[in-house]
Amino acid sequence: MTLIKIKRNSIKRNPNAGRTDYLIAGKEEHTSNPDGSESWHRDVQHVRSLFPEPKWLFEYQNNRVTCNNCGKTFGWKRLESDYLSDFGSSSICPYCKEWDCCEIEFEDIKEVLRENSRRV
């Protein structure tokens, strides 16, 4: 079992916490007009989400895991997932394609916050 830890310095409050709709700015496009002027255009997408935005944003460390089948070691972010069927796997080995090739557990953000609040 590998515990994937949360990067402590990546934790930040989500400015959009609790919101279910927000705007996402697309890529800015620059056009040079024939008359010599320039114009900028940016697509803005209105996104509605079924789930409210989480309170915290954070990243996981890229811990290395070892495949139980072929023995290769790689960063867990390279694990592949397949949820096309009801019995999906989120830990498919990128080398030998073995399903559930290793056991990983993600650290719980609530635990980390509790630990941080004890420290202060």
Binding site residues, Zn ion, CB under 5 A: 67, 69-70, 93, 95-96, 98
Nearer Cβ to Zn ion (95/99): 95
Three-state DSSP class for residue 1: coil
Distance CA 53, CA 50 (A): 9
End-to-end CA distance of the chain, in Å?
31
Nearer Cβ to Zn ion (67/79): 67
Instruction: Evaluate whether 48 touches 62 at the Cβ level (below 8 Å).
Output: no
Nearer Cβ to Zn ion (104/112): 104
Find the shortest distance in angstroms from Cβ 97 to Zn ion.
7
Distance CA 105, CA 102 (A): 10
What 3 state SS string does 44-84 have? Answer: EEEEECCCCCCCEECCECCCEEECCCCCCEEEHHHCEEECC
Find the shortest distance in angstroms from Cβ 111 to Zn ion.
30
Find the shortest distance in angstroms from Cβ 94 to Zn ion.
8
Nearer Cβ to Zn ion (47/96): 96
Find the shortest distance in angstroms from Cβ 72 to Zn ion.
5
